[in-house]
Every structure is written in C-alpha cells, then in structure tokens.
Structure 1
Amino acid sequence: MKGKLIRVCVVANDAAETMRDFNDLFGVEFYGPFDDEHVKLKVALPRSGGMEVSSPTAADDPIGFSQYLAANGEGIKGIALRVDNIQEAMDELKSKGVEIGVYFEHNLMKECIIPPQPKTHNIEVALNEFPDEDPVGQAVARDMGIDLYA
C-alpha cells in the first residue's frame, strides 16, 4: 500500500465558526459545513488548503470526536491518506495488526477511519479512495447537496 497525504482533520467545538476563522486568518476555503448524519458530525471540507474541520453533533458519534474534544480540546485529530484500492489497503493493514474502524461511502468516495492506536503512533488515519475526476471534497459535498459553484 502506498498512501498520499491529502488532508489534515481538525476537530472543533463549532465547525462553522472554525471554518470562518481559518478563512479569515489564512484564506482557507471550505465546502459546507454540512451535517454528515451517519457519523454524527458537522463537516467543512477543503475547497483549498487541505484541511477538514469537524465538530460532533451527538455525544455518541461513531468516530469518537465528542470523547476526543472532552479529553483534549480542539486541535488536529488526524490525517487522511489517498489510496488506490481501499479494500486492499484495509486487508494489508489488518494483516499487520492494525485495527480498522468505521467504513463508509459518499458518492464515488470510499473512506475508512483507523482509530488512534500504538501501530499508528496514536494518530487517527483516514484512508480515502476516489477517482481523479472527483476529489474527496467535491464527492462528499455533492453527496450532501452542496452547490459546488455557489
């Protein structure tokens, strides 16, 4: 497996406020934020800048953002790597003793969240597979009904 770093995930108390602050301070542009109901998060995806901002919408979100915020406060939660074949990557990582977490799909994008663990040096890693013509931010934004040209 060969992964390419595509974004950094920031966990925040308020995704919309954080998105506005990073746009104002650094010129980072986002799609969203939108409610990603199956993982119970409000998510702003990178239009530019390679940064995703997420905030939990429920205390029992399956990725553990609520627990992370309670224990650590706001900050960098993890990274996302693009892979050519997510199933092969997950199988390879499982064979190396890595615990695989939540898997889901948005439009043409597939994503697997690997929870922080000793094998990943306690960094959460998201694996993403998507075609070149449909980058991750666009795929998810379209799936959530966001007008990409607004």
Structure 2
Amino acid sequence: MIKKIDHIGIAVKSIEKTSELFSNILGLKVVGEEIIEEQKVKVVFLPLGDSELELLESTSPDGPVARFIEKKGEGIQHIAFRVDNLEKILEKLKEDGIRLIDEKPRYGAGGTKIAFLHPKSTNGILIELSERNE
C-alpha cells in the first residue's frame, strides 16, 4: 500500500528564513515555490535523497498552518506517504473505520493528488497520502 515516505511537512512562519537555515546548515536547496489557494498555504520543497522536506507558510491568519503554529508552534506538521491508486486506498480505509479528513483526493503541490487521515485515527499524527504521476 505505502511505497515510501514522500515528504515531511514543516509548518513555519517564514519560508524565506527557514529555507536559508536549511540551506546554510544542511546544504539543502529549495525547489520551486507554489501557493495552494484552497489550503491557504505557500510551499517549497527541499529534496533529500528520494524524499523531501516541505516547508509550509500560511497565506492567511485563519489558514490551517497558521492555526497549527498558533496552537503548537513551528515544527513538523505532517508526514506524507507515497501511494498508488489513492482513491482505492481511501475507500479501504473508510471501510476499515479510519476517520478521513478527505474522503476524495484533492489537489496538492506539484500536481499531486493528496488526502489527509484524521489524527484521531492515527495516534495524533496528521498523515497525508500522496499520489504522483511519475
């Protein structure tokens, strides 16, 4: 079902400052920048081997990333797993009683299809499932 860790999402107040930190300390390079209007978030990726770090900066004070930072501070917000056939996996998880935030895939950064599982069904961890057209 799960192919690999796709990325780790990190909620930040400033993508610019945080990406400088990762670049200067760890030598990671930022790839692209994208605003996902429906999620009220700006994202950049920092490739690391065959996975990535995703920096998330809210574009609105009422966005989910802004609320996360207000409640928990900056830091790891979610872990994303790469999957094939996201729709089928969501159907199975729903049948198995897993609480879903997204019952159907939605648009994610880089043209991916994504869906989130509710942390109440995953021991408090926000899990994203990500399907990429490769």
Under a length normalisation based on structure 2, what TM-score does the superposition of the two structures give?
A: 0.84
How far apart, in 2, do the equivalents of 1:131 and 1:8 lie? 19
Cα distance, 1:56 vs structure 2: 0.9
Structure 1 residue 99, shift from structure 2 partner: 2.1
Q: How does 1:1-150 map to 2 (within 5 A)?
A: 1-48=1-48, 50-61=52-63, 64-102=64-102, 103-106=105-108, 108-117=111-120, 119-132=121-134
| SS class of match (1:47) | strand
* Ranges in structure 1 where 5+ consecutive residues have no aligned partner: 133-150
Please tell me the root mean square deviation across aligned C-alpha atoms, in Å: 1.9
**If the length of structure 1 is used for normalisation, what is the TM-score?**
0.76
Aligned-residue identity in percent: 26
Name the aligned partner's letter for residue 31 of structure 2.
Answer: Y
Cα deviation code 1:67-108 (max 9, x no counterpart): 210111011111000111100111111122222224422565
Which amino acid in 1 is paired with 2:116?
Answer: I
Instruction: Count matched residues.
Output: 129
Tell me: CA distance 1:79–1:67, structure 2 relative to 1, closer, same or farther (3 Å). Answer: same
Secondary structure of 1:65's counterpart equals helix
| Bigger strand share | 2
> What is the alpha-carbon distance in structure 2 between the residues aligned to residue 12 and residue 6 of structure 1?
19
CA distance in 2, matches of 1:131, 1:46: 19
SS of the counterpart of 2:119? Answer: coil
Letter of the 1:23 partner, please give it: S
Question: Once superposed, which parts of structure 1, at least 4 consecutive aligned residues long, lie more than 4 Å away?
Answer: none
